[in-house]
Structure 1
Amino acid sequence: MLVEAEDVSVSIGGRAVLDGETVRCAPGTMTALVGPSGSGKTTLLHCLGLLLPVDRGRIVVGGDDVTGYGAGARRRFWRDHAAFVLQDYGIMDEESVAFNVTMRSGLFGRRVTGDLERLAAVLEQTGLGGRQEEAASHLSGGEKQRLALARAIYKQAGVVFVDEPTASLDAVNRRKVIDLFAGFAADGRTVIVSTHDAEMIEACGSRYEIGSARAVAA
């Protein structure tokens, strides 16, 4: 699913954060949004994911102008097409690892439902194998980041929005996470990453420099 920003500008608290940014994020490719700290990488990522409205310009997803989507249409987009791996992880500490991945449980009790075979596979992929029943509060920061990634893989979303995915990871897990995202893109999905990690940027098929008005093929 092609995701585009066209001449997007955003001001927050009276300060211009984005000014006329245009980027094209193609399916089957990881696109890195790059720039120095405070340049607006995360803001642009949130605009592309319909988490933040734009002041000027358009957001286009799959050829459709989604800039003016209301709350219901945004929720349907998030439910049906998008997954997010954000710096705050979006993890529910009081719930189990399994529930945080599938987001589904039985009507009565706490029994997790969904595709349990796929659940086990994605936990293995992300280094959390066998920890389905643990409370998410027991996980370290890096493990919670991988749990958010497991949720995105489990959902099989068409578009994945990722904010600094390697920030809390050691070298081994950094490489593992990068490879997982690369594999996700190779399956035909659109992966959009806000990052300053040189290794992550190197793995991306294209990168967009905030403020440069240009995309750069990797």
Structure 2
Amino acid sequence: MTQPMIALTGVTRRYDEGPPALHDISLTIAEGESVAVVGPSGSGKSTLLNLIAGLDRPDAGEVTVAGTRVERLGEAAAARFRRDHVGLVFQFFNLLDDLTVLDNVLLPAQLAGASGRGTRERAAGLLDSLGIAKHTAAYPGRLSGGERQRVAVARALINRPSLLLADEPTGALDTAAGQDVRDLLNDLHASGQTIVLVTHDPRLAQACATRTVSMRDGLIEAIR
């Protein structure tokens, strides 16, 4: 049997004396799936994503991603794991305004020690495949929201991650740009990329996900 890309078992995360942000969550996601995590604010969606990425640790339970027990990793090891296995896309892009589009995309590869011609060719190829090659030398502040999100996706993919995590990837975009990102996520999934996306947008979940995980009050209500 093929090992799942993500396996959470009995995961609980508590931040204060109130109800836990996540309570006894178990979830398995196979390689090549595109899964949307939906629910109201405060339901635990972003906490779940942060635990999968190794940006946070559970108080109880196991988090296994690409065969690695992520919750056992120290801070430096978790950073290396994200660099090598996880691409992150955020609502507000998190691009560096003083770097060109190309240099933003190259940054994770450079941090991983890859800075040669082949890496630059891969970055240029990603920008071309995402339809923004003409902006290679531009700075992010000169781009539209949809274009900046495409740059963020290219940056997330430069190290060929096993897993792409997207936190509200259309939340800061207008309708047309949001549709562009939906199309992009569908193209990535069709190419075999494993994707987990957190969203308030039911249209995005319906358009891009093979399964939808509905959350409320730190619990999984339903998986469809």
Query: TM (normalized to structure 2)?
Result: 0.83
The answer to whether residue 167 in structure 2 is matched with residue 163 in structure 1 is yes
The answer to whether residue 34 in structure 2 is matched with residue 30 in structure 1 is yes
> Which residue does the alignment assign to 2:220?
213
> Which residue does the alignment assign to 1:14?
17
Do the aligned partners of 1:84 and 1:160 also contact (CA within 8 Å) in 2? Answer: yes
Do the aligned partners of 2:32 and 2:194 also contact (CA within 8 Å) in 1? Answer: yes
Distance 1:149 1:14 in 2: 37
Aligned residues: 212
The answer to whether residue 125 in structure 2 is matched with residue 99 in structure 1 is no
Q: Please identify which structure carries the higher helix content.
A: 2
Q: Which runs of 4+ in 1 moved over 6 A?
A: none
Distance 1:63 1:123 in 2: 30
> Which residue does the alignment assign to 1:135?
139
Do the aligned partners of 1:206 and 1:215 also contact (CA within 8 Å) in 2? Answer: no
Range that drifts further, 206-215 or 35-44: 206-215
Q: CA deviation at 1:88?
A: 3.7
Unmatched tracts of structure 1, length 5 or more: 106-110
Distance 2:90 2:75 in 1: 20
Range that drifts further, 118-127 or 6-15: 118-127
Q: Classify the secondary structure of the residue corresponding to 2:63.
A: strand
Q: CA deviation at 1:97?
A: 0.6
Range that drifts further, 44-53 or 188-197: 188-197
- Percent of aligned positions that are identical: 32
Give the superposed CA RMSD.
Answer: 2.4
For each residue in 1:172-212, what CA deviation from the matched residue of structure 2 results, as whole angstroms up to 9, or x when unmatched? 33232222222322333321100121121112011111245
Do the aligned partners of 1:206 and 1:216 also contact (CA within 8 Å) in 2? Answer: yes
- The AA in structure 2 aligned to 1:66 is V
Q: CA deviation at 1:70?
A: 0.9
- The AA in structure 1 aligned to 2:10 is D
Range that drifts further, 169-178 or 199-208: 169-178
Distance 1:63 1:158 in 2: 11
Q: Classify the secondary structure of the residue corresponding to 1:91.
A: coil
Matches within 5 A, 1:73-152: 73-103=77-107, 114-152=118-156
Unmatched tracts of structure 2, length 5 or more: none
Of residues 204, 212, 216 in structure 1, which corresponds to 2:209? 204
Distance 2:190 2:10 in 1: 28
> Which residue does the alignment assign to 1:108?
none
